[in-house]
């Protein structure tokens, strides 16, 4: 995404309230937050003993829940007031670090992250940036490590206005095609890794409350490429 469009996106989010409604862009946010959060957490693998990176953490709707079981959580968001709110609501946790930065700027060591969590992130990235970030994430997690992704497909999730020109409402199959293009090879070229789609699910909470079947969650796992053909 060009810097101008990214700047517009940041300014648009800076105008949103640091609240559930501001994050979810939905007048039914108090009800949706509880059901949506509970459902998403039920799809995650065990995080015990893992270092977790949450990209696009916002005001911490999920951060505290991740921190309850993970060894450590790195919460990243490019809006300063959201990170400040996140720190406030999760002040009881000592195993969370916070970074105010764009997810595209984050640099981490290979195999250093046990689990990566994103919620409504890739819908704000064009295909090039989506591919680049997915490649980064594939390197960050170890073999058999997991990545959670949730996105709005085809249209938005809420009933409140937002800068539509900064949003990419892909079809679910487009995301899955992108996931399948991602691969990485070890230094000697001996092992090539890719993402396997372990779960693909329309969120029941949004079907129930908003009659919206296009809130899609994926659980991806990093696997050997030669194994992927047999899965």
CATH code of the domain covering residue 136: 3.40.50.150
163 domain residue, yes or no: yes
Strands in the chain per DSSP E: 51-55, 72-77, 96-100, 115-118, 146-152, 183-185, 192-202, 215-224
Separation between Cα atoms, residue 197 and residue 191, nearest integer Å: 19
231 domain residue, yes or no: no
188 domain residue, yes or no: yes
pLDDT greater at residue 230 or residue 40: 40
pLDDT at 231 over 60: no
- Encoded tokens for 167: 């949003």
Most confident listed range (134-143, 150-159, 179-188):
134-143
Strands in 57-205 per DSSP E: 72-77, 96-100, 115-118, 146-152, 183-185, 192-202
50 domain residue, yes or no: no
Range of the domain at 134: 3-13+25-43+56-224
pLDDT at 6: 84
Number of domains the chain is built from = 1
The model's pTM is 0.94
pLDDT at 164 over 90: no
pLDDT at 230: 44
Separation between Cα atoms, residue 20 and residue 32, nearest integer Å: 9
Short-list 217, 212, 214, CA closest to 200: 217
Strands in 124-205 per DSSP E: 146-152, 183-185, 192-202
The two beta strands, 192-202 and 215-224, are antiparallel
230 domain residue, yes or no: no
Q: Rounded to 5 degrees, what are φ and ψ at 89?
A: -75, -20
187 domain residue, yes or no: yes
67 domain residue, yes or no: yes
229 domain residue, yes or no: no
Q: For 183-225, how does the pLDDT look when each residue is reduced to its tens digit (9 = 90+)? A: 987 666 666 999 999 999 999 999 999 999 999 999 999 999 8
């Amino acid at each position: 995404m060009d810097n101008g469009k990214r700047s517009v996106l940041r300014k648009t989010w800076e105008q949103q309230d640091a609240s559930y409604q501001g994050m979810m862009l939905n007048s039914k946010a108090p009800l949706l937050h509880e059901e949506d959060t509970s459902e998403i957490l039920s799809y995650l693998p065990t995080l015990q003993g893992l270092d977790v990176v949450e990209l696009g953490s916002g005001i911490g709707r999920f951060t505290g829940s991740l921190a309850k079981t993970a060894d450590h959580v790195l919460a990243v968001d490019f809006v300063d007031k959201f990170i400040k709110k996140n720190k406030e609501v999760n002040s009881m946790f000592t195993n969370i670090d916070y970074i105010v930065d764009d997810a595209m700027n984050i640099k981490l060591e290979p195999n250093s992250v046990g689990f990566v969590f994103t919620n409504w992130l890739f819908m704000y990235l064009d295909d090039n940036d989506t591919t680049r970030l997915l490649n980064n994430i594939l390197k960050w997690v170890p073999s058999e490590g997991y990545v959670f992704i949730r996105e709005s497909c085809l249209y938005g999730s809420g009933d409140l206005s937002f800068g539509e020109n900064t949003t990419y409402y892909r079809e679910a199959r487009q995301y899955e095609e992108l996931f399948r293009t991602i691969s990485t090879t070890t230094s000697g070229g001996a092992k090539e890794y890719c993402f396997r789609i372990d779960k693909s699910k329309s969120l029941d909470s949004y079907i129930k409350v908003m009659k919206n079947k296009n809130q899609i969650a994926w659980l991806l796992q990093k696997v050997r490429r030669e194994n992927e053909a047999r899965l």
